[in-house]
Amino acid sequence: MSTKITGVKTLNNYIAKMKSHLKNPSSFFAKAGEVGRSNITRHFYETKSPKGTWKKLKYRKGLPLNDNGVLRGSITYKSNNKSATIGTNEPYATIHNYGGMAGKGKKVKIPKREFMWLDKNAYKQMENAMIDTLEDLWV
């Protein structure tokens, strides 16, 4: 009586691909960065933060932080084989994200309109991207 084990070569190839990918997971981090960038950009259209809806505008019509689209369009990501970083270089982004006093003499109160965050859907998409990346190695 004997038992034949098949597919060992395929399994060994998969393990080799996985080891190689784990040494350089840059493609996963690039996918994660794009998911995060897209998720953060969507907050501008939904005008929501983790704690609820952004405060409405007082002095013009339209959506907060959407008058010309510069801040929304400035959300980018950088990735490498260790991480993905999502952010903006716009100098006024911090005051809008966290709120605070601004202007000459710090006399203007800017309400907190937190946009730089990831929702549960983004984390789920990143998880799926990781699974897809590993599944692609099997093929």
Q: What is the pLDDT of residues 7-37, one digit of tens each?
A: 566 667 766 777 776 677 888 889 999 999 9
Nearest-CA neighbor of 134 among 20, 30, 37? 20
Mean pLDDT of 93-121: 94
Structural domain contains residue 21: yes
Is the predicted pLDDT of residue 139 greater than 50, yes or no? yes
The gap between the terminal CA atoms of the chain, to the nearest Å, is: 33
How many separate domains does the chain show?
1
Distance CA(25)–CA(30), nearest Å, equals 9
Tokens 């040494």, residue? Answer: 23
Structural domain contains residue 97: no
Structural domain contains residue 30: yes
Residue type present at position 60: R
Q: pTM, whole model, 2 decimals?
A: 0.79
Give the count of beta carbons closer than 10 Å to the beta carbon of residue 59.
4
Each residue of 115-136: pLDDT tens digit? Answer: 999 999 999 999 888 888 777 7
Structural domain contains residue 3: no
Structural domain of 71: 8-90+119-138
